[in-house]
Structure 1
Amino acid sequence: MSNSERLECPSGQTGAISRVLVVDDSNLQLRIVSAMLKRWGFEVDVATSGPEALQLCLRSPPDLVLSDWMMPGMTGLEFCRRFRALDRDGYGYFILLTSKSDKADVAQGLDAGADDFLTKPVNAHELRARIKAGERIVSMERQLTETNRQVSDALRELRDIHEAIENDLRQARTIQQSLVPERVRIFGSSRVSLLLQPCGHVGGDLVGMFSPGPDQLGLYSIDVSGHGITSAMVTARVAGYLSSTFPEQNVALDRQSDRPFALREPGDTARRLNQRFAADPGVEEYLTMAYVAADLSTGVMRLVQAGHSPPILLRRDGPVQFIGDGGLPIGLVDDVTYDQHSFRMQRGDLLLLYSDGFTEAVTKDGSMLGEDGLAQLLCDSAQAGKGPDLLSDMFWRLTTEMADPDRLGDDVSAALLEYDVLR
């Protein structure tokens, strides 16, 4: 072998292949092949049989195996199968040394797991070429393995992040549901029921009620712009502004001197809420609201409709009336005044405050439910149940009519006042 041949090292210690295992029952062949490999800078292990080679593979897995095909006991073909069955990190390139050239023999070797073949006696130039080819395969496999490891680590991290977000969202949903602690409450002979169904974990709808004294009721339905966590955070803030637990923080309640709290005019309540939002530059969202200040002793209702869907008044004798004429949303424009409407409820009348998740629900024919559809929904459900059962029936009928009953396009909420129905 010339000096130039000895200097042309295909890979050596810095390449993808550094450790080579040579397996042959001929000591002469072992010496010849291992000598060439060592000159090229490889670490070389030798074995004279398949079982001995397997033990070496277990102790120190090789990057490349050069194995004779014809060996007593365990053939190179069987050794190749056993080698492929080993549990190891990374790919090991396998070259069978053989005098066989028949296509059936080659197919048999490939089926056993061999990557390449080299005829005996071994030619140095051909061996170097086969090793270089093997090194490209091993290098690509290791790059792919590393890429897969990075992808797996990234997916694992994403799963952990997703699980943490899911846990946070579930907790956020629990907190948001706690903003509506009472879903049903009796006020003398009247009853209020509430429905809150976010389209996701959390939503931007809010319904609620509060009572500063006998026969006094504040009832509201609110829809914050947008969806998701940001909207939910705004609803939490608004719930504090209309708190039933801490009346001194409720902008809808007024207390002068030693007199008990009283309901402010709805228009004044909407104006105060608008001032709160305008004073906070960090809040870009706005909200629509339907708010009713009710005198349950007389049935007189005072309503402000700040850009919200018009409430439905269902009379005991059947007629349906939509109340209100719009108005600007809360937090959209500074220094807004709000008009209010007054009307009187009679015994057995129903008043429904609701979000546009009802009216804008897409039905099976591709159209939106709309106000007429919602009015019919209320009339049908009023025949089927009362109180919370009525609202549950409405929601069931809504999802039954929807094009995709398993996916709400928007939050769905409602506040129902059944006036003087319990006597």
Structure 2
Amino acid sequence: MTRKLSILAADDSEMNRRLLTRFITQLGHDIVLVNDGQAAVQYCQATRPDLILMDVMMPVMDGLEATRQIRSLLGEHWLPIIFLTAKADQEDVIQGLSAGGDDYLSKPIDITLLSAKINVMARIADMQLRIAQDAEQLEAYYRANEAEQELAKHVLSSLTVHAEQAATGVQEWIKPAVNFSGDVVAVERSPTGVAHIMLADSTGHGLSAAISCLPAVSAFHSMTQKGFAISAIAREINTQLHRSLPLGRFVAAILVAVDYAERIVSLWNGGLPAALLVDADGKLLRRFESQNAPLGILGNEDFDPGLAVYRWPETATLALFSDGLSEARNAQDKEFGEASMLQVLASVPAEQRMAAVRQAVAEHLDGREAHDDVSLVIIPCEQRQNSMPESAQADAAHTELADWEIRLSFGPRQLREDNCMPALLGWLHQINLNETQFGEVLLVMSELFNNALDHGVLKLSSLQKSAGEGFGQYMEERQRRLQALESGSIEIGMNYRVDAERALLRLWMKDSGEGFDFARQDMARLSDDGQQTHGRGLALVRRLCESVLFVGSGNQVEVEYALK
């Protein structure tokens, strides 16, 4: 027997109601009796039975009209209705089914047939109930999933959309293949004002791909703010992803540092299409091809943090894009490709290049959907001062501080892994410099440290930068010597003192190199294109500091900065 049902019987005949009560009770179900169709409608307004046995011919409201109103009342909820009537010709059956009935049973009623029809309707009702419950569960799951998707979008947006994009002029375009993009763009400025940009493309599509990029984005922002170089950031992201991502998951990425003051772009490419640097006319200056495996594949011992470095001319544009863009196929199965990208970049002025590429890709696809996430980053490269991000440091009353001194020494490992400047930056954050002082002292410290490393420890000559391709050769040699460094050190000291008139911050730096003839040093030299190739850093230090003094063989420099 099926489960016990609540059955509503509508019939104007007292004898029929008695027979139905006896039959239904014998079948083990509960029965509710009404005399007409209107009473059946009113009962369904208050209570929902499991099944209705409906007479056709009744006073006040017949069974056909009652069935129509009950169907309208219940909406999408299905309730089985069986008509009971002495009229059983084809026209009557069709009329009853059209009114909303599910079956017909002729009078006099056969209890065996009635039992079978009730069992059939009960099974159908149970299936309908399960379907409705499943639909409710799916709807609840859909609503919960939508809420989770919105939360994920908010988190991803807060990590990837950054105010530094406006300050640097970087433009981005991301077109996801599904709801979420596995491509992300992050922009941040270092404490010295160098712009850092990352385009990352995670394996797969959707939310899982976007989540895979989160450790990369988080490390990129935090390490840039702490003063780490692009090479150190790439290494740390690779370590985190190698540890956290499952086998077969990785993140192809390009990390870029743009030094506007020096007109230098430094780039690490792991698994993405070649980044393209073009001049004002769109002529290709440099292709930065992928020289590395995507992030997360190799262990730390096998990871290569080496950068490609290039000094651009007066003005240039750097284009980064994912393989979803370069491999976007049209109706003829032709890829968009690098050649099309270069053609578009050369066809319009620099400020129109983002819009022109987007339009070209749309025309290439001609309404078709790309099979992969599409992303494009346009980076304007022009010579200007590196504008530093706003400092969180508050103005401080230095005259209230006691005198203090700090000393620190960096050996080969710290120099190779490029972890020195973040440590020095940590010092500055501890002494409550105001925003102007923080920026100027950081510039002084950076210039002196880079001079000590390049010319003292690594024994590089600035004269290498002067001729033709000299700058590129200089940077390649610098990386080679730095990676092979097994000995050498830089010692740094800083002290603070207050006299009767002013507060002074004294910084000294000593390297393990042989020094130089600082008395005869030519402080400035021009390259073939008329640009000053070296000496500008020391000139800046002299302008910002009260005094600059070389001692010993020239491998130690002492400066004093006045805290006005």
Aligned to 2:382: 419
Q: CA deviation at 1:345?
A: 2.2
Change (3 A) 1:156 1:241: same
Contact 2:181/2:210, CA 8 A, preserved across alignment: yes
Once the two structures are superposed, residues 87-127 of structure 1 have per-residue CA deviations (whole angstroms, 9 ceiling, x without a partner) of 467635434342x56554555555554832434xx4xxx62
Tell me how far apart the structure 1 counterparts of residues 306 and 110 of structure 2 sit (CA, whole Å): 93
Equivalent position of 1:81 in the other structure: 65
Q: Report the alpha carbon displacement of residue 217 of structure 1 after superposing the two structures with TM.
A: 3.2
How far 1:150 sits from its partner (Å)?
A: 1.0
When residues 347 and 144 of structure 1 are mapped into structure 2, their CA distance, relative to the original with a 3 A threshold, is same
Q: CA deviation at 1:233?
A: 0.6
Partner of 1:278: 239
Deviation at 1:157, TM superposition (A): 0.9
Which residue of 170, 185, 188 corresponds with 2:167?
A: 185
Question: Where does residue 234 of structure 1 map in the other structure?
Answer: 215
DSSP 3-state at the match of 1:366: coil
1:22, distance to aligned residue in structure 2 (A): 6.7
Whether 1:391 and 2:379 are equivalent positions in the alignment is no
1:170 paired to 2:147? no
The CA deviation at 1:164 is 0.8
Secondary structure of the 1:281 match is: helix
Among 209, 214, 225, which residue is 2:202 paired with? 225
The TM-score normalised by the length of structure 2 is 0.54
User: In the alignment, residue 171 of structure 2 is paired with which amino acid?
Assistant: L
CA contact (8 A) 1:241 1:251 kept: no
Q: CA RMSD in A?
A: 4.0
SS at match of 1:149: helix
Structure 2 CA distance for partners of 1:420 and 1:37, relative to 1, 3 Å:
closer
Aligned equivalent of 1:194: 171
Q: Distance in 1 between matches of 2:273 and 2:243?
A: 27
Q: Select the residue among 91, 111, 115 that pairs with 2:103.
A: 115
Query: TM-score when scaled to structure 1?
Result: 0.69
CA contact (8 A) 1:291 1:303 kept: yes
**Secondary structure at 1:367 match in 2:** coil
Query: 1:352 is matched with which residue?
Result: 319
Selected match of 1:130 from 92, 113, 116: 113
Q: Is the 8 A contact 2:84 2:105 kept in 1?
A: yes
2:165 and 2:188 in contact (8 A); partners too: no
CA distance in 2, matches of 1:183, 1:93: 66
d(CA) in 1 for partners of 2:85, 2:383:
98
TM-aligned CA distance change 1:201 to 1:173, over 3 Å: farther
Match for residue 159 of structure 1 among 128, 142, 145: 142
Match of 2:277 in 1: 313
Q: State the 1:346 CA deviation.
A: 2.0
1:359 corresponds to which letter in structure 2?
S
Decide whether the 8 Å contact of 2:78 with 2:128 is kept in 1: yes
- Matched-pair contact (CA < 8 Å) for 1:196–1:205: no
Return 5+ residue gaps in structure 2 as ranges. 386-564
Question: 1 or 2 for the larger relative contact order (CA 8 Å, sep ≥6)?
Answer: 1
Hey, what does 1:260 align to over in structure 2?
A: none
The within-5 A match list for 1:315-394 is: 315-316=279-280, 319-329=283-293, 330-333=295-298, 334-335=300-301, 336-382=303-349, 385-386=350-351, 389-394=352-357
CA contact (8 A) 2:54 2:82 kept: yes
Match of 2:194, SS? strand
Q: Structure 1 CA distance, aligned partners of 2:326 and 2:21?
A: 83
User: What is the deviation of 1:143?
Assistant: 0.8
Contact persistence 1:355–1:413 (CA under 8 A): yes
CA displacement, residues 173-193 of structure 1 (integer Å, 9 cap, x when unaligned): 421343x3232436xxxxx53
Deviation at 1:407, TM superposition (A): 5.0
- Maintained 8 Å contact 2:174/2:373: no
Count of residue pairs brought into register by the alignment: 366
